[in-house]
Amino acid sequence: MIFKMPCSVILLRGTMKGSDDPLALLYVGRYGNYHYLQKNLFEECDVVEERKTTLLTFRRHMDRMEAASDVAIVDIGWPYHGLMNRSGVYLEMPDWAGMALELGETWEDTIRLFRHTTRRQDLRHIRLNEYRCEPTNDRAAIEKFYDEMYLPFIESRHGLDAVKASRRHVVRRAGKGCLLQIFKGERVVVAGVVYPEDGALYFLWLGMPSDCIEKPPQAAISAVYYFGIKHALDQGLWAVDFTGTRTFLSDGVFRFKRKWGALVEDSFSPSSLLVRPKNGHLNAARFCQRFPMLVRRNGELEGLLLSVDAPLDDKRLSQLNALYGCNGISRMTVVDLSGHGKAGCRDVAVGDLEFRLIGAGLDHYADHYAKHAVRDSGL
């Protein structure tokens, strides 16, 4: 089968998401994460060159095209990524990580696990909008959810990257678990399927009416999470599993789940995205700054960030911790290119999280980023 397994080498050039900075990205893989990367890393982009190949022959195309890129991402799946990274020159990102919340003994204890901004803003908006939750196992309601909420929602959110659950599977799981319908007035504005197993409540599928997708009602999705967590506690369960999440720390879904107190775990997928930014490329450094990531290090998850312009003073470190810190991350490593920090490597505590600060120059930052941060080899 490996002789027939297709693989593509694609050079993309465009503008980084949320900025005017250019980016040339070399994608090597089997399209498992291609559309996600294209949609979430680029504001707009064009395919400069594409070569169809196989897992045995892609290297000659990759070696030739990589010179024109700022960053290379290899997406060939398990177990092939392990063979590819035997030399250790790539950062190894889980393509998906799990996120789960361990519930408190009481509702008041559980609420205290939420982030401060969640308690102050999301819970307030849920009250002001007078959302209410009605769990149901009614088959007609579940089938209506699948056709009129789930399918439009997932197609809008994920496009070509969408992996759709079958109607039969959704109906069966919702029948054994339940469909949480969130009402505003007399109308369902969002709903989600939850399923209990082994003492945990699993959030499986979300959806909302087509006319709500472009401009969701205020805090409607927060209401699903809020009432789902409360439902789990009422059922005597000990945890809520939010299931798989992408591992870019700036990803909106990742940040949304962490604000409910979720712990991130390397438990959802054995596959990795192999990432190699280029030494000496300012665009590559800005890519690493704009898209901080989780990487596998010594059996743990470590956050990797880059600071190109701003000095890493106490205020900046507190901001980074507030933006990206999450339970389950063993350490945050920040490579400092600003020139204002100390040379070498030092560890500091920011809140409950350890930060490793590494001073580096543009000409060699990627070596530090991959080797010293991930392998603890020292400077």
Q: What is the mean pLDDT of residues 31-45?
A: 94
pLDDT at residue 22 tops 70: yes
Q: What is the pLDDT of residue 65?
A: 96
Smallest Cα–Cα separation from 97: which of 263, 238, 284, 312? 263
**Which has the minimum average pLDDT: 94-98, 226-230, 348-352, 369-373?**
369-373
pLDDT mean across residues, the chain: 91
In this prediction the pTM is 0.90
Evaluated on CA atoms 281, 285, 290, 293, the torsion sign reads: positive
What residue type is 290 in one-letter code?
R
Q: What is the mean pLDDT of residues 3-29?
A: 93
What residue type is 161 in one-letter code?
D
259: its two tokens: 């604000």
**Which has the minimum average pLDDT: 5-9, 44-48, 150-154, 360-364?**
360-364
Q: What is the pLDDT of residue 378?
A: 39
DSSP string, 92-148: EEES-EEEEEEPPSSHHHHHTTS-HHIIIIIHHHHHHTT-EEEEE--HHHHHHHIII
Smallest Cα–Cα separation from 118: which of 284, 322, 290? 322
pLDDT at residue 180 tops 70: yes
Residues 6+ apart with CB under 8 A from 340: 311, 312
Q: How confident is the model at residue 33 (pLDDT cuts 50, 70, 90)?
A: very high
Q: How far is the C-alpha of 176 from the C-alpha of 171, rounded, in Å?
A: 9
In degrees and rounded to multiples of 5, residue 98 shows phi and psi of -90, 150
How much helix, strand and coil, in percent to the nearest 5, is found in the chain? 35, 35, 30
Q: What is the pLDDT of residue 364?
A: 84
Q: What is the pLDDT of residue 214?
A: 87
Residues 6+ apart with CB under 8 A from 352: none
